[in-house]
Amino acid sequence: MTVYEAIEERQSVRAFSDRKIPADTLERILRAGTQAPTARNEQAHRTIAVTDPAIIKQLGSAQAHIGTAPCVLVVYFDGDSRTMACGQPARVLDCSICLSYMVLAAVEEGIQGCWIGGVEVESVRKLLGLPESAVIVALHTLGYPAGDTPRREKKEPSTLYDIV
């Protein structure tokens, strides 16, 4: 699969089969995230791959489908997020790029998931024993799809970019 094919294949999936993600597959996905570029190459992002069903169930209390995933990635940074010259928070962008790399690697492995925005970050921080200085940027479920997920319609690509 090419990276372009992975981009085309990626979907937001919320229904997972009972199939567990093999440890070596999960390791490849996590390693992909470590290759993401970061501001000043500081590599300050961190990822926790939660595979314990009891913890995943607690993470899923806000959205039921989270609790059915065999893995939930928690992407965060610890400490300050300096603002880049363009006005954007460096660490939030670093974490987002890292997660994007992991998501595309997962698609290569036949795994899909969903970026979770509606999460009570304070409860996640406490559940995982993260310090108060940890800023959770995203949760993302990972798993083998339970069946076919209808593709959502995308806008015409040329309406989303310009070439000047």
pLDDT in tens, 44-62: 999 999 999 999 999 987 7
Distance CA 92, CA 79 (A): 11
Q: What is the pLDDT of residue 152?
A: 83
Least confident of 9-23, 102-116, 139-153: 139-153
Instruction: Spell out the domain ranges in the chain.
Output: 3-147
Q: Do the beta carbons of residue 121 and residue 115 sit within 8 Å?
A: no
Q: What is the pLDDT of residue 114?
A: 95
Residue range 3-147, CATH number = 3.40.109.10
Cα dihedral value 46, 51, 52, 58, nearest 10: 70
Overall pTM surpassing 0.85 (yes/no): yes
Q: What is the pLDDT of residue 18?
A: 92
Q: Is 103 helix (H, G, I), strand (E, B) or coil?
A: helix
20 has a pLDDT exceeding 90: yes
Average pLDDT, the chain: 93
